[in-house]
């Protein structure tokens, strides 16, 4: 029996190392599979996506992933054109989507929105980003990227840089990394430090050090995971202005990195990685976005097929 069949993917905390490894193995199979065989996995199935916040990669990669396994996608990515605008509740919108589709992907600005959706929906729900809380499918693609590009996860020193307070990808990534033997360096402005209450449960499992100074750790990191300062989540624009542009990864920073270190970013980037860096061997963020299509296809295939693949 495939343990992912009809399962909701709400939080990385619901997954452990064996589950991650199964998703990575399924992703490898998806990439290598005969296209006709791959299209059988989603044949006749519909993904319903509901995006109450802007997105490029997550919406597109979910649609591309569903197409890859032979299914179709329907969805709302501009809620101002949906009946939400007339006052329809989130619960009723979710009920409608679960009538019309076989699996749902939800992005919403509220923490807890996906857990709520899973209670309402008669079909499995995938959290495609909930408030500042979590983005589990991003963490799956992030770990898969590390595994592919560094050939391992255990034993690495990983620096997470930027907005550690509001960036939801950071939390899902840390919850996922807590299953591995890694050294973590958290580098952020003082006002954007990690929310210690959110990592309370995993703190004992992780070897963590914090700093505001990237220079302190740059030459010892194997993975540099850069994040955007999340302007839209600041309650006060003035506070954002104080920290904007705090870290910039340019060719000068690459000179200080270990030669075989990699740079990742969940994207979108604003100015925290210079475009000069894009063509360096260290830049893996576009590859990371590409892996997202395959990890999501694997996850959709596992959730939709009782016997797996
Ligand atoms: N990484 C990510 O979630 O990107 P989008 O906001 O464009 O979906």
170 with 55, same domain?
no
Please indicate, yes or no, if residue 1 is contained in any of the structural domains.
Answer: no
Please indicate, yes or no, if residue 4 is contained in any of the structural domains.
Answer: no
pLDDT for the residue numbered 204: 85
88 with 141, same domain?
no
Task: Enumerate the H helices of the chain as residue ranges.
Answer: 17-32, 35-39, 57-68, 90-100, 113-120, 136-150, 168-177, 237-243, 251-256, 285-304
Closest approach atom of ligand 1 to CA 128: 3
149 with 220, same domain?
yes
* Cα 217–chain centre separation: 24
Smallest CA separation from ligand 1 atom 4, residue: 57
Please indicate, yes or no, if residue 255 is contained in any of the structural domains.
Answer: yes
Mean pLDDT along residues 186-211? 92
Burial label for 225, CB within 10 Å (0-12, 13-18, 19+), is: buried
32 with 76, same domain?
yes
Q: CA triplet 300, 301, 304: central angle to 5 degrees?
A: 80
Q: Are 167 and 131 in contact (CB under 8 A)?
A: no
pLDDT for the residue numbered 175: 96
pLDDT for the residue numbered 193: 96
**pTM for the complete prediction?**
0.96
Is ligand 1 within 6 A of the CB of residue 56?
A: yes
pLDDT for the residue numbered 118: 98
Please indicate, yes or no, if residue 7 is contained in any of the structural domains.
Answer: no
Q: By C-alpha distance, which of 129, 165, 134 is closest to 239?
A: 165
Q: Is 57 a catalytic residue?
A: yes
pLDDT for the residue numbered 201: 85
Q: Which of 135, 185, 228, 269 is catalytic?
A: 135
221 with 264, same domain?
yes
Q: Is 265 a catalytic residue?
A: no
162 with 141, same domain?
yes
Look at residue 126 and give its three-state secondary structure: strand
Look at residue 87 and give its three-state secondary structure: coil
Please indicate, yes or no, if residue 2 is contained in any of the structural domains.
Answer: no
Q: What is the CATH number of the domain that holds 34?
A: 3.40.50.1370
Residue-range definition of the domain harbouring residue 113:
12-134+291-304
For 216-238, how does the pLDDT look when each residue is reduced to its tens digit (9 = 90+)?
Answer: 999 999 999 999 998 988 988 99
Q: Is 107 a catalytic residue?
A: yes
- Percent residues over pLDDT 90 in the chain: 94
Task: Enumerate the H helices of 151-272 as residue ranges.
Answer: 168-177, 237-243, 251-256
Q: Are 96 and 46 in contact (CB under 8 A)?
A: no
CA 268 to ligand 1 centroid distance, Å: 6
Residue 1 confidence (pLDDT) above 90 = no
Q: Which of 58, 59, 93, 137 is catalytic?
A: 58
When mean pLDDT is compared across 77-81, 119-123, 283-287, the lowest value belongs to: 77-81
Q: Which of 38, 45, 107, 147 is catalytic?
A: 107
Q: Which two tokens stand for residue 235?
A: 């309650």
Mean pLDDT along residues 237-266? 95
Mean pLDDT along residues 199-212? 91
21 with 111, same domain?
yes
């Amino acid at each position: 029996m495939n343990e992912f069949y009809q399962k909701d993917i709400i939080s990385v905390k619901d997954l452990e190392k064996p589950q991650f490894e199964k998703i990575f193995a399924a992703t490898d199979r998806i990439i290598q599979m005969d296209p006709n065989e791959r299209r059988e996995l989603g044949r006749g199935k519909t993904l319903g996506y509901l995006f109450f916040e802007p997105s490029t990669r997550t919406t597109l990669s979910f649609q591309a992933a569903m197409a890859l396994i032979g299914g179709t996608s329907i969805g709302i990515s501009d809620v101002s054109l949906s009946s939400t605008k007339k006052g329809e509740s989130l619960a009723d919108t979710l009920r409608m989507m679960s009538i019309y589709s076989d699996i749902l992907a939800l992005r919403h600005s509220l923490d807890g929105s996906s857990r709520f959706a899973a209670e309402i929906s008669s079909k499995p729900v995938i959290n495609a980003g909930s408030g500042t809380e979590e983005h589990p499918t991003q963490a799956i693609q992030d770990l898969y990227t590390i595994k592919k590009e560094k050939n391992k996860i255990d034993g690495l020193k990983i620096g997470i840089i930027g907005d550690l307070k509001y960036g939801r990808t950071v939390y899902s990534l840390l919850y996922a990394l807590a299953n591995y033997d890694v050294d973590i360096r958290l580098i952020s402005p003082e006002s954007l430090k990690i929310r210690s209450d959110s990592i309370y449960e995993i703190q004992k499992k992780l070897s963590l050090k914090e700093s505001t100074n990237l220079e302190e750790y740059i030459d010892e990191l194997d993975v540099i995971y850069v994040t955007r300062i999340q302007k839209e989540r600041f309650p006060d624009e003035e506070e954002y202005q104080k920290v904007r542009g705090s870290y910039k990864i340019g060719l000068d920073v690459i000179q200080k990195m270990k030669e075989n270190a990699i740079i990742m970013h969940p994207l979108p980037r604003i100015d925290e990685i210079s475009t000069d860096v894009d063509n360096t061997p260290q830049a893996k963020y576009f590859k990371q976005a590409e892996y997202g299509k395959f990890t999501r296809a694997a996850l959709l295939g596992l959730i939709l097929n009782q016997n797996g693949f």
